[in-house]
Structure 1
Amino acid sequence: MYFEHSTDVWAEFPELVAGVLSAGGVDASASVADRVKPYYDIAADRLGTGSESELPEIQAWRRVFSRMGLKPTQYRCASESLLRRFRKERSLPEIHPLIDICNAISVAFAIPIAVFDTDQVAGHIQVRHALGDETYETFAGQIEHPEPREVVFADASNQAHARRWTNRQARTSAARSTTSSVLIVAEALHPSAAADVPRLIEAVSGELAAIWGAHATTAVLTESSPRFEI
């Protein structure tokens, strides 16, 4: 199993920095309430009295969505959506301990993080332009087909595990009570992404070790080295 971005995606978005991590041994029984707070504090400090739209990480993703022909205030990257909710409530809902800690790290860095249950992925995940015949399952159980040329996370069975790049993940491979092995992906395109993404991946790896005693394999992908073997 492997993860990669297509050559077309790299050619179109050469400023992309992608951090990836794979690990096993996670479960849904851990408590992370005390571990999310430091990241919430960072997010609150970064937001101050302003808006998440002022952060360079979010501005970069808004520009990308505009380049993809999407209205950035209608379709937001996952970290912007989380920050909007966090700004109003100063917390995020509890979903699954791994999702909860990744969401907390995501708002601290303002960078979208995707978590995939690798047991629910066929063969590989490639971030590529959709053909339009891929199958995407919403969290409500509805089946959708991405628009042609939309950027999706697609596997070998033509399942789309995320739509509109970092906008929305699928139910198909979302973390659940039985999840043990995961692939975690963080992507950014802002000016300091080359420094920030490795720090984010290091933070996630550290939390996996502290909470679950899990050993993670990590990498930062580039156009010349785009593939991560899981």
Structure 2
Amino acid sequence: METPVPHDPDTFLAACTIEPAVSELRPDYRAALLVVEGLDPASDAGSERAEVMLVEAEQHARGLLADSPVEELAHIAAWREAYRAFGAKPQRTRNSLEALTRRVDDGLPRINPLTDIYNAVSVRHQVPIGGEDLDAYVGAARLVRATGDEPFATVVSGEPAVEHPAPGEVVWCDDDGVTCRRWNWRQGPRTALSTGTTRAFFILDALGPMSDDALTAAVDELASALGSLGEQVTVSRRVLAAGVTR
């Protein structure tokens, strides 16, 4: 196993890629990528803002669910279709947005300001978001269709374990293995955010029902809110799309 090394944000983001096979599966897919530096793990400064955002997200989602079942919400339905396209069963493995939206009746989880903020943005803007520790990455992030040989370090029944994705499964990975299975279903502990994270990497996953303007609005709110988590917070961003970089 290689030792993670510090990443320059611009260099890291420039090296992130979407494999053509993924773009062929969903030509409408876009990934908004953010690197956030200067986070203060000891600060509780963002707690009040995170709580307000969670309450607003819960209220927004409850309004959506009053008019439609969760599986018929436009972006969630699109992700269920995308899962079926690579062989996953969305009723058994729910994308992260659907999993969070289904929790709003009982209240979204309260974990820590960093996680709470991106969960709130995910539900409020109806977009799957993954948050990870940049300093745990080995090389750049790549979205690929798996061969089935890639290692996914995880925990099973409280014990470390290594799993492998199904051939053709869409996964995020770095040079050391899979970081998130089934596009946006389950992240691995190796790159997970922690109470010691000072540099975070976020992925916002958009399909056709979500416009570029709506994706930008989600990115802008996430970047603004994360700015409350340290006096020296800086945000770098990039959008990847099928055959297009911007």
State TM-score, norm by structure 2: 0.84
Map of 1:176-195 to 2, 5 A cutoff?
176-195=194-213
Corresponding position of 1:24: 37
The answer on 1:216 being equivalent to 2:235 is: yes
Question: In structure 2, the residue corresponding to 1:48 is in which secondary structure?
Answer: helix
Name which of 185, 199, 206 aligns with 1:167. Answer: 185
Matched, 1:3 2:16: yes
Partner of 1:77: 95
Percent identity of paired positions between Structure 1 and Structure 2:
30
1:226 positional shift? 4.4
The unaligned stretches of length 5 or more in structure 1 are none
Amino acid at match of 2:241: T
Contact 1:120/1:173, CA 8 A, preserved across alignment:
yes
Distance 1:99 1:132 in 2: 30
**Separation in 2, partners of 1:10, 1:103:** 26
Q: Which residue of 2 aligns with 1:66?
A: 84
- State the Cα deviation string for residues 82-133 of structure 1 (Å, max 9, x = none): 11112x30x2222232111111111112211001101111011101011222
For 1:153 and 1:82, how far apart are their aligned partners in 2?
20
Count of residues in correspondence between the two structures: 224
Structure 2 CA distance for aligned equivalents of residues 78 and 27 of structure 1: 26
Unaligned runs of 5+ in 2: 1-11
User: Counterpart of 1:221 in 2: which secondary structure?
Assistant: strand
- Give the equivalent residue in structure 2 for 1:151: 170
Q: What letter is aligned with 2:214?
A: D
* Aligned mates of 2:213, 2:67 — CA distance in 1: 26
**Once the two structures are superposed, what CA deviation does each residue of 1:165-188 show, in whole Å capped at 9, x if it has no partner?**
111111111100111111101112
2:180 counterpart SS class: strand
The alignment status of 1:136 with 2:149, answered yes or no, reads: no
Query: 2:210 & 2:163 partners in 1: Cα distance?
Result: 35
Read off the aligned partner of 2:243 and give its amino acid letter: S
Q: What is the alpha-carbon distance in structure 2 between the residues aligned to residue 47 and residue 208 of structure 1?
A: 28
CA distance in 1, matches of 2:53, 2:83: 32
Counterpart Cα distance in 2 of 1:129 and 1:62: 17
SS in 2 for 1:175: coil
